Amino acid sequence: MLEDLKRNSQSELQKVKQEYDKRIEKLEADLKEARKGFEHEREVLEKKRTDMQADYEKQIREMKEKYESEIASINKKSQDDLNNLNTQHREHLKTVTDQLKAEKEQATK
C-alpha cells in the first residue's frame, strides 16, 4: 500500500510537472509573440518620431527662410527710401543754392 501511494504521488508529481512545463512553454511562446508586437510598435513609434522631427526641422527651416526674406525686403525698402530722401535733399539744396546765386547776381547788378 505504501508502494502504491508512493507510485501515485510520483505519478501525480510527474503530471503536475508536465502541466507546469507545458504552461511555461506556452507562456514563453506568448512572451516571444508579445515581444514581436512590442518591437513592431516600437518601430512604428520610432518612425513617427523621426517623421515628426523631420517635419519640425522643415518648418523651422521655412520660417528662417521667410524671416530672412522679410528682413532683406525691409532692408531694401529702407535703403530705397533713404536713397530717395537723399535725392530729394540734393535736389532741394540745388534749387536753394541756385536761387541764392540768382539773388546774389541780382543784388550785384
pLDDT tens digits, one per residue of 45-91: 999 999 999 999 999 999 999 999 999 999 999 999 999 999 999 99
- pLDDT at residue 18 tops 80: yes
Residue 80 has what pLDDT? 96
Q: List the chain domain ranges.
A: 1-81
- 23-39 as b/e: b if 16+ CB within 10 A: eeeeeeeeeeeeeeeee
Mean pLDDT in residue range 96-100? 93
- pLDDT at residue 24 tops 90: yes
Q: What percent of the chain has pLDDT over 90?
A: 69
d(CA 94, CA 109): 22
